[in-house]
Chain A
Amino acid sequence: VGAQADEAAADLDRLLAERGDQLMRAAVALAGSRSDGEDLLQAALERLLRSRHRVDSDLEGYLRRILYNLAADGWRRRATGERRLRLIRGAPAASTGLTDTRAGAGGTAGGAVGADGTAVVDLRDALVRLLSQLPPRQRTVIVLRFWAQLSEAETAAMLGCSEGSVKSAASRGMARLRELAAQWQEEPGHFPSQANRLPLTGQLLEEPR
């Protein structure tokens, strides 16, 4: 038993040494900030350690399934909600790892498009902030579908649900995201550039340089 435990610990250490950074990126994407991502990955590791005897092979796949399901099930929902609230109210961004594009940060907020494309960077950042306002399952599906590039079938297998549920969550999530983005655009200065408005119908009004 002792030898098995040592071998299992070595397997996990090897996985984290080889794939730890990628797992951390996934956790940050799902949680919305670096510090929350770290907590989420630690929670996933704890669950893996508790159920280790059930893992026969594909340790990374098993860990990823735990990670995605924790995120989809609203892991620490209340705490995350509080963080979201702080984000929306424009609390200091340092604690979240996100840049606040609204509170007079930088020269691009509400201003001209920077020749270096900084407005696009801010735009992406603003969208990620909006993403954190979605329900956990919708957010997780969007991260898996549009960032991790999983198919609907793969996403469904990871989350243990039907393809229809994935399709529905993705569709509702994207619709809600567009709605939130539209609301923000109604308030001047919330997006980096009024000239570079979000392509709510799927097309950029002006291609960023």
Chain B
Amino acid sequence: MNDHFEELIHDGIDQLTIGSTLPAGLADRARWQVRRRQYQLRAAAAAGTAAAAAIAVIAATSAGSAGTTPKSSADPGPSPSVALLAKIERAIASKAASAPVLQIKTTFPTRLVPMPADPFSQVQAAEGGVVGTEIVWTRGNVLKLEVLDPKGQIMWIDRDTDRRMLGPGTYTHVDYLNRYWFRGQTNGFVYKKDIPRCTVLPLGPGEPQEWAPRTLAKEIRHALACGRVKVAGRQHVDGVEAIKLAFPPGLVHVNWHGIGPGRAVAHAAMWIDADSYLPLRYKSTLTLVDAKPGSGHPSAALHCDFQWLPATSSALAKLRLTIPSGFHHDQPKTVTVHVPAPHK
């Protein structure tokens, strides 16, 4: 280094790079991409496409494996979840093309109030309300969410007409407990972008109970991208044979009824229809890890059931919202939802 100009460049790059740390999960993402590429090449080779030539070159330089052989002696072969992912993505894309209404019914444990993602549920928590069931109907940009108490009474309904995952949007909120409604805007989730999505968390942005047909495949791909999802065998869900995918555990913030807020470990799993490769059920078991002394470590499970409804008039009616007579029209509101960063 022989002059100030070079020194300025050195210090400038130092300034740019200082504090840069290796993002968590980067190596896992790289491994996943490599496996995915290997899988694609093999799939193409098996189909007899032009990619077979590339496979042949690779095979010739490795331990004499054939292009169509699923496993070579030189590498562990494609992860089952990568192969499965391609089938799931194709199945969802094919299903979404027919523009059905996706219904997702989530059953919450009665002792648990979803806290961070939904400001209204925080209000309900403050009022002693407990969510029992949440039903989402979604098609295109429209999403309607109906929240019921454990007795099946409607607590509130939200309807978004320009649904965008994690982005700003407009919605109508009808509060059945306090008999008012308003139209509002949300600034979207305030959520750190570079947090690795190595798991599916039941409460927060991207929560499975609010997936939409066009984002479903993307959300599942995000969850699988870290390469830590395990295929945990086959089970029956309501009589249907399903493939169980187990996600790595994650930490979420919850408000435990009667105990208060705290963090819970979420162990999540998803069941995929073994025939159609469409998601059937998602289940998350939450165990409180930092409850007040004496509260123990309560555990509870929530689950979501996915159902694809053909776009009949009765299914489309589920997306419509009618304001009950006598409900007070409140001022428009803007809500910014602050979501605590999930822990790895």
* Cβ of B97 under 8 Å from chain A: no
Instruction: Judge whether B3 and A202 touch: CB under 8 Å.
Output: yes
Report the separation of the CA atoms of residues A124 and B9 in the bound assembly, to the nearest whole angstrom.
6
Name the interface residues of B27-85: CB closer than 8 Å to any CB of A.
Answer: 27, 29-31, 33-34, 37, 73-76
Report the separation of the CA atoms of residues A25 and B13 in the bound assembly, to the nearest whole angstrom.
9
Q: Which of B4, B26, B33 contacts A203 (CB 8 A)?
A: B4
Q: Which of B22, B29, B194 contacts A16 (CB 8 A)?
A: B22
* Cβ of B14 under 8 Å from chain A: yes
Q: Which residues of the partner chain B approach A50 to less than 8 Å between Cβ atoms?
A: 34
Q: Which residues of the partner chain A approach B33 to less than 8 Å between Cβ atoms?
A: 42, 46
Q: Which of A2, A9, A23, A202 contacts B5 (CB 8 A)?
A: A202
* Cβ of A37 under 8 Å from chain B: yes
Closest to B7 in A: A146
* Cβ of A13 under 8 Å from chain B: yes
* Cβ of B1 under 8 Å from chain A: yes
Name the interface residues of A47-69: CB closer than 8 Å to any CB of B.
Answer: 49-50, 53
Closest to A49 in B: B34
Instruction: Judge whether A199 and B4 touch: CB under 8 Å.
Output: yes
* Dominant secondary structure of chain B at its interface with chain A: helix
Instruction: Judge whether B22 and A28 touch: CB under 8 Å.
Output: no
Which of A33, A50, A124, A174 counts the most B-chain CB atoms under 10 A from its CB? Answer: A124
* Cβ of B23 under 8 Å from chain A: yes
* Cβ of B126 under 8 Å from chain A: no
Instruction: Judge whether B15 and A46 touch: CB under 8 Å.
Output: no
Q: Which of B3, B8, B18 contacts A127 (CB 8 A)?
A: B8
Q: Which residues of the partner chain A approach B4 to less than 8 Å between Cβ atoms?
A: 199, 202-204
* Cβ of B16 under 8 Å from chain A: yes
Closest to A203 in B: B4
Q: Which residues of the partner chain A approach B2 to less than 8 Å between Cβ atoms?
A: 202
Report the separation of the CA atoms of residues A97 and B3 in the bound assembly, to the nearest whole angstrom.
27
A124-152 vs B, Cβ < 8 Å mask (1 yes, 0 no):
11011001000000000011001101000
Closest to A1 in B: B73
B72 to chain A, nearest CB (A): 9
Report the separation of the CA atoms of residues A21 and B21 in the bound assembly, to the nearest whole angstrom.
5
B274 to chain A, nearest CB (A): 27
Report the separation of the CA atoms of residues A29 and B75 in the bound assembly, to the nearest whole angstrom.
33
Report the separation of the CA atoms of residues A34 and B192 in the bound assembly, to the nearest whole angstrom.
14
* Cβ of B20 under 8 Å from chain A: yes
* Cβ of A156 under 8 Å from chain B: no
Name the interface residues of A152-209: CB closer than 8 Å to any CB of B.
Answer: 174, 177-178, 198-200, 202-204
* Cβ of A91 under 8 Å from chain B: no
B26 to chain A, nearest CB (A): 6
* Cβ of B17 under 8 Å from chain A: yes
Instruction: Judge whether A178 and B15 touch: CB under 8 Å.
Output: no
Report the separation of the CA atoms of residues A116 and B25 in the bound assembly, to the nearest whole angstrom.
38
B126 to chain A, nearest CB (A): 35
Instruction: Judge whether A20 and B12 touch: CB under 8 Å.
Output: no
* Cβ of A5 under 8 Å from chain B: yes
Instruction: Judge whether B15 and A125 touch: CB under 8 Å.
Output: yes
Given A125-B12, A128-B15, A199-B3: A34 in contact with B20 (beta carbons within 8 A): yes
Q: Which residues of the partner chain B approach A204 to less than 8 Å between Cβ atoms?
A: 4
* Cβ of B162 under 8 Å from chain A: no
Report the separation of the CA atoms of residues A39 and B303 in the bound assembly, to the nearest whole angstrom.
35
Report the separation of the CA atoms of residues A67 and B6 in the bound assembly, to the nearest whole angstrom.
23
* Cβ of B10 under 8 Å from chain A: yes
Q: Which residues of the partner chain B approach A42 to less than 8 Å between Cβ atoms?
A: 26, 29-30, 33
Name 23 A/B residue pairs within 8 A (Cβ), A-sorted. A5-B75, A5-B76, A9-B31, A16-B26, A21-B22, A25-B17, A28-B17, A33-B16, A42-B33, A46-B33, A50-B34, A124-B9, A125-B12, A125-B16, A127-B9, A128-B9, A131-B9, A143-B13, A146-B13, A147-B13, A178-B5, A198-B5, A204-B4
- Identify the 3 closest CB pairs spanning chains A and B, nearest first: A20-B22, A124-B12, A202-B3
